[in-house]
Amino acid sequence: MKKLEEKIFKFLMIGSTALILSLLLYILYIILKKGLPSLSWEMISQIPSGGFYLGKEGGILNAIMGSLYLIFFSVLISLCISVPVVMYLNFTLRRKSKLAAIARLTFDVLFGIPSIVYGAFGFTLMIYFGLQASLLGGIIAISLLIIPVMIRSIDEVAILIPNELVEATKSLGATNYETIKVITRQLLPGISTAVLLSIGRGIGDAATVLFTAGYTDSIPSSLMQPTASLPLAIFFQLSSPIEEVQNRAYSAALVLTIIILILSFSARYFSRRLSKNKI
């Protein structure tokens, strides 16, 4: 009986892992199969020309650059906000503080809010401030989207920091600010994981940028100009009736996947280097 139980559980574990792995591999296979043939140097080095959406020359450089701009500035802004929030939650408030508990619950709720809601909220904000669809609008909306992700994932690591580390640092005569610097060192691997997760969520999201960043065929040269993004490039091309354009959507998806892969590997690399001194 015990043996059977063990067998069933083993089967369940292996089965689930295999199922999810094969699904992911299948996604990759589809993207590669459909996207690779139309992926060319032209695709990633040029902006769309006149008849691009009818199957003529041009590429998606506008979307690639737009997405990179959007995610870079959003992650930067979110980091500047999230790290202090986590520090406050963990090292200024007490561990059992009610405010901290309420704040964490709020971040969890914000974490779960669909991205279209952030897009809509960003849109109302923009109307309020008289902004048009622009890089800035997109950055604000994506920042709103990824801040909860970032806070919660840094927080998970910060909770694990032993109080002894804080005390050891303070007992050497460190001020609060200097203590936070030491804690940040310990947090670095957690921060890089958080950045990775937020990039993943932010760069691939179409709904937040739909109304806030707009779409354009050129690469934005200022914060006030609208900008294209990869998820929307996929969306628009996929909805075209022309097959050639549809295939380009897959190659845009491939480009997006490759960007995320590169960013993931570099984040993992940095994370490993940064955690070298972790206690």
Partner 1 sequence: MELLTEPLIKEQPKQTRSRKPGCDKPHIEVEKLNLYIQNNHILKNISLSIPDKSITCIIGPSGCGKTTLLRTFNRLHDDNVDVRITGKLFVDCEDIYAKDAEVTHIRKKMGLLAQRPCSLPMSIKDNVVYGPRLHGVRGKQKLHEIAYHQLSAVGLWDEVKDRLKTPASKLSIGQQQRLCLARGLAVEPDIILGDEATSALDPISSKTIEELFVSLKDKYTIVLVTHTLRQAKRIADYVAFMYMGELIEFGTADQVFNNPKHKLTQEYISGGFS
Q: CA nearest 145: which of 123, 108, 113?
A: 113
Q: Closest CB to partner 1 among 93 and 120? A: 93
Q: Closest CB to partner 1 among 7 and 272? A: 272
What is d(CA 174, CA 179) in angstroms, rounded to the nearest whole number? Answer: 6
CB of 94 to partner 1, least distance (A): 7
CB of 83 to partner 1, least distance (A): 16
Q: Closest CB to partner 1 among 32 and 168? A: 168
**DSSP-assigned letters across all residues of 162-196:** -HHHHHHHHHTT--HHHHHHHHHHHHHHHHHHHHH
Q: What are phi and psi of 220, to 5 degrees?
A: -65, 140
What is d(CA 210, CA 122) in angstroms, rounded to the nearest whole number? Answer: 10
CB of 174 to partner 1, least distance (A): 6
Q: Closest CB to partner 1 among 115 and 169? A: 169
Cβ(249)–Cβ(233) below 8 Å? yes
For the chain, report the end-to-end CA distance as a whole number of angstroms.
44
Report the run of H or E that residue 88 belongs to, with start and end: none
Cα dihedral 249, 251, 253, 256 sign: negative
Q: Which residues contact residue 132 at a Cβ distance below 8 angstroms, ignoring those fewer than 6 apart?
A: 126, 214, 224, 226
CB of 82 to partner 1, least distance (A): 20
Q: What are phi and psi of 74, to 5 degrees?
A: -65, -45
Q: Closest CB to partner 1 among 170 and 268? A: 170
Q: Closest CB to partner 1 among 17 and 175? A: 175
CB of 98 to partner 1, least distance (A): 13
CB of 95 to partner 1, least distance (A): 10
CB of 163 to partner 1, least distance (A): 9
| Residues in contact with partner 1 by the rule CB under 8 A | 94, 162, 164-175, 178, 182, 185-186, 276-279
Report the run of H or E that residue 106 belongs to, with start and end: helix 98-112
